[in-house]
Amino acid sequence: MLRIIAKNFIKPEQTAKAESLFRELIAASLEDSGCLEYRLHKDAAEPGLYVFIEEWADRESHAKHEASEHFKRLFPQIGALAAKPGEALFLHDEVKGKK
Amino acid sequence: MLRIIAKNFIKPEQTAKAESLFRELIAASLEDSGCLEYRLHKDAAEPGLYVFIEEWADRESHAKHEASEHFKRLFPQIGALAAKPGEALFLHDEVKGKK
């Protein structure tokens, strides 16, 4: 089990371009082996803040995702639209709560 | 749609007691109306860090959850075991990605 919370801080004037790239990344990543969740959220309170909530079957499937053509191609393009580096939290253990 | 990421910073020596309270809170909250996800994660890299990932049907169902007997009773008990105040991120919009 691997759950990831990944924040992206996109320049407000670049959000439309970033969302186009995000959509392409999401569509491809949902087909990656071991991808259990790959959802992108934003909050009106902080323009440019995009938060991925992901779940991967294991570390290996996430590593393969990061080595995929779509990730290696799109992630740098999204990074070029960022106001500052992103932040990621990797959670390897679940206490309880699946519904 | 409302997604919440809530971090709890529990004193390392109080994690066993906190996990017992978390389990009771989770079991009751999963029965709350409009609760679509209520999962608690931790990461070995930062002892005492517990992260809820929640999803609620709407703001109203989350407000009712916070007004519930179980939340009002257990949340302060968990807070008393914390090393510092928790942090919560409320995400009201989804770009894409539901699987």
**Full set of structural domains in chain B with CATH:** 2-91 (3.30.70.100)
User: Whose CA is closest to A5, among B73, B41, B57?
Assistant: B41
| Mutation target vs B (from A22, A26, A91; most B CBs, 10 A cutoff) | A91
Residue A93 and residue B42: Cβ atoms within 8 Å? yes
Residue A94 and residue B37: Cβ atoms within 8 Å? no
Task: Match 């990932």 to its residue by tokens.
Answer: B53
Q: What mean pLDDT is reported for chain B?
A: 94
- The 10s digit of each residue's pLDDT in A51-71 is 999 999 999 999 999 999 999
B7, two tokens: 């971090």
Residue A30 near residue A87 (C-beta atoms within 8 A): no
In angstroms, rounded to a whole number, what is the distance separating the alpha carbons of residues B72 and B65?
9
Confidence check: pLDDT of A97 > 80: no
In angstroms, rounded to a whole number, what is the distance separating the alpha carbons of residues B42 and A3?
10
Taking the CA of residue A26 and the nearest CA in chain B, the distance in Å comes to 6
Task: Match 């009201």 to its residue by tokens.
Answer: B92
User: Whose CA is closest to A43, among A53, A34, A33, A35?
Assistant: A53
First to last CA, chain A: 15
User: Whose CA is closest to A23, among A38, A5, A6?
Assistant: A38
pTM of the predicted structure, to 2 decimals: 0.93
Cβ of A89 under 8 Å from any chain B Cβ? yes
ipTM of the complex: 0.91
- The 10s digit of each residue's pLDDT in B24-37 is 999 999 999 999 99
Phi-psi region of A83 (alpha: psi -120 to 50; beta: other; left: phi over 0): alpha
The answer for residues whose C-beta is within 8 angstroms of residue B16's C-beta and 6 or more apart is none
**What's the pLDDT score for residue A98?**
59
**What's the pLDDT score for residue A94?**
87
The answer for residues whose C-beta is within 8 angstroms of residue B73's C-beta and 6 or more apart is none
Confidence check: pLDDT of B74 > 60: yes
In angstroms, rounded to a whole number, what is the distance separating the alpha carbons of residues A2 and A43?
24
Residue B3 and residue A44: Cβ atoms within 8 Å? no
Residue A90 near residue B43 (C-beta atoms within 8 A): yes
Find the mean pLDDT for residues B38-64: 94
B49, two tokens: 């860090």
